[in-house]
């Protein structure tokens, strides 16, 4: 296994937007898997005021060496002026799962 796995989080204005971003990442083999969580209530500061929104949360599994391309793709497909793009390190996981993740993202460009 290669290591350097990360979980990338972004929130979107709708499930449809989340699905578009997920498919864009998957089609480029930048991520191995994406989960979409509907109806996430977000409360945040924006332009000097506290705002509230119902969003969809995108949880993408990949490796750190794919992070720059993941961020670029999310920005291209995202409707927000300042999209949340946060990467969290994976410090441990099932060897078979992480091996599958490595193999999947390593197949980029082999479609």
List, for residues 23-51, the tens digit of each pLDDT value.
999 999 999 999 999 999 999 999 999 99
pLDDT for residue 109: 60
CATH number of 5-106: 3.30.70.120
pLDDT for residue 108: 72
Domain coordinates in residue numbering, the chain: 5-106
Residue 94 near residue 58 (C-beta atoms within 8 A)? no
Strands (E), the chain: 5-12, 33-46, 49-63, 86-89
pLDDT for residue 1: 67
- The residues of the chain scoring below 50 in pLDDT are 111
CB atoms within 10 A of CB 17: 20
């Amino acid at each position: 296994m290669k290591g350097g796995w990360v979980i990338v989080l972004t929130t979107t204005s709708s499930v449809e937007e989340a699905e578009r971003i997920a498919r864009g990442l998957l089609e480029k083999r930048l991520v191995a898997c994406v989960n979409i969580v509907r109806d996430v209530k977000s409360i945040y500061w924006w332009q000097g005021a506290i705002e509230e929104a119902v969003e969809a949360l995108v949880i993408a599994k990949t490796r750190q060496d794919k992070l720059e391309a993941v961020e670029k793709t999310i920005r291209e497909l995202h409707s927000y002026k300042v999209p949340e793009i946060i990467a969290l390190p994976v410090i441990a996981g099932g060897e078979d799962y992480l091996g599958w993740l490595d193999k999947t993202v390593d197949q980029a460009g082999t479609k």
